[in-house]
Amino acid sequence: MKTFYITTPIYYVNANPHLGHAYTTIVADAMSRFHRCLGEDTLFLTGTDEHGDKIVQAAEKRGLTPRQFVDEISGRFRDLWPRLGIANDRFVRTTDEEHKRAVQKFLQKVYDAGDIYFGEFGGHYCYGCERFYTEKELENGLCPQHLTKPDFISEKNYFFRMSKYLPWLREYILANPDFIRPERYRAEVLAMLESGALEDLCISRPKTRLTWGIELPFDSNYVCYVWFDALINYISALGWPDGPDFARYWPGEHLVAKDILKPHAVFWPTMLKSAGLPLYRHLNVHGYWLVRDTKMSKSLGNVVDPLDMGQRYGLDAFRYFLLREMHFGSDASFSEEALVGRINADLANDLGNLYSRVLTMTAKFCASRIPEGMAQTEADRAIAELCATAMENYLQLFRNARFAQALEALWELVRALNKYVDSEAPWALAKAGQQERLKCVLHILLACMRKVALCLWAVMPKAARAMLVQLGEEMPDDGTPPTRDLAAEAGSLAGLRVGAQAAPASNLFPRIDPAAQMAEQEAAVAGASKSAQKVQVKDEKRLAGAAAAPLPEISFDIFKSLDLRVGTVREAERHPKADRLLRLLIDFGEAEPRQILSGIAEYYAPEDLVGRQVCAVLNLAPRKIRGLMSCGMVLTAGEGERCRLLTPDETVPAGSPIT
């Protein structure tokens, strides 16, 4: 049996999962489901990357050990995926003992091959990237990813002779045009290889600087560089070197975002070559999701919560939007307006309307029993031929990671089926007593609708299952693929269960009314505002009482879980839709200033706050307030006219913890 092995990058656990993580993993899930429908022996791997400087720093800010911190964040990733309809087969962690052993075996193998050497090196080190940059790689002296000036560090370390394999890698990429896809990223990697900027790779960190990592098998004074460690997960999860799954599934395919192109397209192939292992089949690279043409950032308050979108608009509709809206490889803009527009146009008007019309007519004219029929006219044969062509195009495009184009090919069939309903007019055939012709038309429609549902199972598994059940299919609810031979299904309209009981109606994709939705959201905001006012009145009465009841005690562990820090206000302005709120951009020593909304507009003018230090809670769940996200809470004291910001006695570094 043919095998298919797909991996996501293992996600770095210095922050919570967001839309970027969700998109990559949903795409991998769709690819996995697609290949299961082709009857292939499929394995889908995801996981978390848990070593390095940034993990230690993030844990320290939370008052946790690195182990406690990675256990918590890794658990959030693991728990999120099923809630997004993702059915990964395995979840790897770089702190797993099996992974550690595989990394050490790999290091020893490359070391024994003479491709690791010890040397002294002075370089520009970016803590955000956790890697050294050469002068040629910097852009105006700054890290090209974070646009910050790296620290110059000189120390003794171990190096991988990557430069030895760069000419070979260039020739391999030229000889295998689909090794890296889409083409733009293949061209980008070739440009890197031809630039002369790439050198040998520093693969260790001295324990005097970092202990949270995998110890080198040939020198206990050093730990492995996080990227060299992380990339090996793709084979450690298969039990390399001796596990049967390595022989069974490797080589596989990788799916990554464009910001980690270099490690996957340069580091990893040269590492595999040095170790004498086969290269992966394809590196599939996607672009960024943007919000108002800006990359998502927690500090700007424009991070999209995938779970929230799935709950509000339907998980399968959200998954469809992600694969349909982004042309794989390019950046795409996310907005709720675009999401609603896609749901209404594609799912409600086209697909939902088709299912509703045809199933209602089947109930009315055939007592909801699937009728028998076969092509009789030129129109029948044309729609059958279009069905085969659309499926074949869908199969080819999806195999080549062109998901938006694959779905568009399928929608050519969906739209044509709606036109076929209009042109053949089953209601007119029933009125004229043309029962055989009526049954033929309905049979062709239902058969084509089944083919559409089979194709969509990869993208919208729950909705596709519901569609098939509505067509009289017997579908287990255990994630079993609806077919193991999707390619053969494209060859004919066969497969519909004649005589089976169909659903009398369908309302899988109700149309969304944006005006009604906006009114509902405004009502919710107004309700929340009234509730807050009631709470404020109660608090005022409680504080005014001489014998106010004390608040319940909390444990020290709960107090330690609060991320309390001092920050410096960089920008301040009034909220455009709320008179009592100020929008603050506050520097907490993070990569970017953090946006926090505070109800202090009646006590402070915005211009008086710029440059001032404030105290805040940072690990509150982000909240959208009147259209803007607030990522934390500024602390105040007092009430009424005496409400004042809490500030330190003297200026302290931005991000200083409050203890």
Q: How many percent of the chain have pLDDT more than 70? A: 92
Among residues 105, 109, 146, 462, the one annotated as catalytic is 146
Q: What is the mean pLDDT of residues 285-305?
A: 80
Q: Does the structure show a pLDDT above 90 at 289? A: yes
146 tagged catalytic: yes
The pair of three-digit structure tokens given for residue 134, joined into one six-digit string: 């050469």
- Same domain membership, residue 366 and residue 241: no
Angle between helices 315-325 and 19-37 (to 10 degrees): 90
Q: How confident is the model at residue 603 (pLDDT cuts 50, 70, 90)?
A: confident
Q: How confident is the model at residue 244 (pLDDT cuts 50, 70, 90)?
A: very high
Residue 246 lies in a domain: yes
Q: Are 338 and 411 in contact (CB under 8 A)?
A: no
User: Which of the two residues, 295 and 513, has the higher pLDDT score?
Assistant: 513
Chain mean position to CA 544 = 49
643 tagged catalytic: no
99 tagged catalytic: no
3-state DSSP assignment of residue 534: helix
Q: Does the structure show a pLDDT above 90 at 535? A: no
Q: What is the CATH number of the domain that holds 184?
A: 3.40.50.620
| Model pLDDT, residue 626 | 78
- Same domain membership, residue 588 and residue 481: no
- Same domain membership, residue 416 and residue 352: yes
Q: What is the mean pLDDT of residues 612-623?
A: 87
d(CA 82, CA 328): 23
Pick from 163, 165, 190: nearest CA to 275 = 165
CA distances to 371, 422, 439, 480, 489 from 500, rounded to whole Å, are: 9, 25, 14, 21, 19
- Same domain membership, residue 339 and residue 276: no
Residue 313 lies in a domain: no
The pair of three-digit structure tokens given for residue 558, joined into one six-digit string: 């709960």
| Model pLDDT, residue 453 | 98
d(CA 117, CA 164): 13
Ranges 19-33, 59-73, 623-637, most confident: 19-33
The pair of three-digit structure tokens given for residue 327, joined into one six-digit string: 């042309």
Q: Does the structure show a pLDDT above 50 at 452? A: yes
Q: Does the structure show a pLDDT above 90 at 298? A: no
d(CA 308, CA 304): 8
298 tagged catalytic: yes
Q: Domain tally for the chain?
A: 4
Of the listed ranges 89-93, 123-127, 605-609, the one predicted with least confidence: 123-127
Residue 323 lies in a domain: no
- With the C-alpha atoms ordered 543, 546, 547, 552, is the resulting torsion angle positive or negative? positive
d(CA 436, CA 358): 16
pLDDT digits (tens, 9 = 90+) for 143-184: 887 778 888 888 899 999 999 999 999 999 999 999 999 999
18 tagged catalytic: yes
- Same domain membership, residue 141 and residue 28: yes
443 tagged catalytic: no
Among residues 266, 286, 306, the one where a domain terminates is 286
Among residues 136, 149, 156, 295, the one annotated as catalytic is 295
Q: Does the structure show a pLDDT above 60 at 300? A: yes
Among residues 37, 126, 366, 440, the one annotated as catalytic is 126
| Model pLDDT, residue 548 | 43
Q: How confident is the model at residue 277 (pLDDT cuts 50, 70, 90)?
A: very high
pLDDT digits (tens, 9 = 90+) for 31-57: 999 999 999 999 999 999 999 988 998
Q: What is the mean pLDDT of residues 501-506?
A: 96
Chain mean position to CA 585 = 26
| Model pLDDT, residue 528 | 46
Q: Does the structure show a pLDDT above 70 at 13? A: yes
3-state DSSP assignment of residue 423: helix
Name the H helices within 84-209: 97-112, 166-175, 183-195
Q: What is the CATH number of the domain that holds 627?
A: 2.40.50.140
Pick from 625, 614, 611: nearest CA to 655 = 614
| Model pLDDT, residue 596 | 92
- Does the model's pTM come out above 0.85? no
Angle between helices 19-37 and 306-313 (to 10 degrees): 60
Residue 315 lies in a domain: no
Among residues 298, 439, 451, 575, the one annotated as catalytic is 298
- Same domain membership, residue 429 and residue 351: yes
Q: Are 332 and 296 in contact (CB under 8 A)?
A: no
| Model pLDDT, residue 623 | 81
pLDDT digits (tens, 9 = 90+) for 539-585: 444 444 434 445 566 666 566 668 898 999 988 888 888 778 899 98
| Model pLDDT, residue 550 | 53
37 tagged catalytic: no
| Model pLDDT, residue 141 | 85
Residue 406 lies in a domain: yes
- Same domain membership, residue 529 and residue 434: no
Q: How many percent of the chain have pLDDT more than 90? A: 67
455 tagged catalytic: no
Mean pLDDT (the chain, rounded): 90
d(CA 32, CA 249): 13
d(CA 656, CA 659): 9
Residue type, 69: F
Kindly report the backbone phi and psi dihedral angles of residue 324, in degrees, each rounded to the nearest multiple of 5, phi listed first: -80, -35
Chain mean position to CA 609 = 37
Among residues 37, 143, 455, 631, the one annotated as catalytic is 143
Residue 316 lies in a domain: no
Among residues 61, 124, 129, 224, the one annotated as catalytic is 129
- Same domain membership, residue 148 and residue 44: yes
Q: What is the mean pLDDT of residues 72-81?
A: 93
| Model pLDDT, residue 624 | 78
| Model pLDDT, residue 443 | 98
- Same domain membership, residue 79 and residue 147: yes
Q: What is the CATH number of the domain that holds 469?
A: 1.10.730.10
**Secondary structure element (H or E) that encloses residue 558, with its range:** helix 556-560
Residue 381 lies in a domain: yes
Q: Which domain holds residue 433?
A: 334-489
d(CA 258, CA 184): 11
Sheet holding 613-617, edge to edge: 594-598, 582-587, 564-574, 613-617, 633-634
- Same domain membership, residue 208 and residue 133: yes
Among residues 473, 489, 505, the one where a domain terminates is 489
- Same domain membership, residue 601 and residue 519: no
CA distances to 186, 207, 601 from 177, rounded to whole Å, are: 8, 42, 59
Kindly report the backbone phi and psi dihedral angles of residue 371, in degrees, each rounded to the nearest multiple of 5, phi listed first: -80, 160
d(CA 302, CA 295): 8
Chain mean position to CA 576 = 31
Q: Does the structure show a pLDDT above 70 at 231? A: yes
Q: Are 451 and 458 in contact (CB under 8 A)?
A: no
The pair of three-digit structure tokens given for residue 171, joined into one six-digit string: 């020739």
CA triplet 542, 617, 574: central angle to 5 degrees?
A: 85
- Same domain membership, residue 529 and residue 423: no
3-state DSSP assignment of residue 116: strand
| Model pLDDT, residue 536 | 46
| Length of the chain in terms of residues written | 659
Of the listed ranges 274-278, 424-428, 449-453, 560-564, the one predicted with least confidence: 560-564
Residue 551 lies in a domain: no
3-state DSSP assignment of residue 87: coil
589 torsion bin: left (phi>0), alpha (psi -120 to 50), beta (else): left
Angle between helices 435-456 and 461-470 (to 10 degrees): 160
